[in-house]
Amino acid sequence: MTTKNYINFDRHEIYTNEMLDLNMDLISVASLQTDKITNSLYGLFDGYLYNSLRDVEYLKSQNVSEAGIKLIQALISLIDNKLK
């Protein structure tokens, strides 16, 4: 059995304007411009929360700044709270 590396959710149901703005800000931040991270952040718009966005060590290995990591964690926290 294969474990999924993402959580699927209905972005239209749970995203607020604040979450949309934060997601767009994260995508546009220069320190996050690695293809893997950018694609994962775009995936949120399609309702895919990839586990890699939760992995601080992985984010650091992709050269995401501490500030960027904190913003990603804030967005994920907002998503998690809506999924409860």
- pLDDT tens, 9-55? 999 999 999 999 999 999 987 656 688 999 999 999 999 999 999 99
Q: What is the pLDDT of residue 1?
A: 65
Contacting residues for 79 by C-beta, under 8 A, at least 6 apart: 9, 14, 19, 44, 49
Tokens standing for 6?
A: 């993402």
> pTM here?
0.89
Q: Do residues 64 and 72 touch, judged by C-beta distance below 8 A?
A: yes
The interaxial angle of helices 17-28 and 66-83, nearest 10 deg, is 150
Nearest-angstrom CA–CA distance, 5 and 2: 9
